[in-house]
């Protein structure tokens, strides 16, 4: 799981940096300003959506286990759902921290601080989108599950 979290983190950081480079090249600050204003709300909403989805999926898993057995087949899915909740809570905390520090007068004097913070904040958003994608994959596992196979 640690390797998976590191992989996702590196992908999100790389994509966040590319988003910042694109903004520099396009001479736009829309994405950065949008995330400054909305990131925490987006992250909390995604946590709520994912939690509700997980509740439905885990209920369906319980029904399948009670009906067909095969509890071991869903152990990894449950573990991944729990990991995603932990990741989302960390993302919310990291967003609050980064957005707070970014607004500090002390960071204004650091060269390239805006690029660093913009990349990191964009990475948080991208990471949350990757969690949403993984949750959707978990739902598809349940939909495609065939107990007789």
Contact, 131 vs 46, CB < 8 A? yes
pLDDT per residue over 6-59, tens digit each?
Answer: 999 999 999 999 999 999 999 999 999 999 999 999 999 999 999 998 888 888
Report percent pLDDT > 90 for the chain: 58
Handedness of CA 88, 90, 95, 96 (dihedral sign): positive
Domain boundaries, the chain: 2-144
pLDDT per residue over 48-91, tens digit each?
Answer: 999 998 888 888 878 877 887 766 667 777 788 888 899 999 99
To 5 degrees, how large is the angle CA 108–CA 114–CA 118? 145
């Amino acid at each position: 799981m640690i390797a998976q979290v590191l992989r996702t983190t590196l992908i999100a950081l790389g994509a966040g940096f590319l988003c910042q480079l694109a903004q520099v090249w396009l001479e736009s600050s829309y994405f950065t300003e949008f995330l400054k204003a909305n990131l925490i709300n987006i992250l909390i909403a995604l946590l709520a959506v994912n939690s509700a989805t997980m509740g439905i999926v885990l209920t369906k898993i319980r029904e399948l286990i009670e009906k067909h057995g095969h509890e071991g087949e869903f152990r990894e899915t449950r573990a991944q759902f729990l990991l995603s909740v932990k990741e989302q809570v960390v993302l919310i905390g990291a967003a609050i921290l980064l957005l707070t520090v970014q607004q500090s007068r002390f960071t204004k004097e650091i060269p390239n601080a805006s690029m660093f913070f913009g990349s990191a904040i964009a990475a948080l958003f991208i990471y949350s989108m990757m969690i949403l994608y993984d949750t959707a994959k978990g739902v598809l596992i349940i939909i495609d599950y065939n107990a007789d196979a």
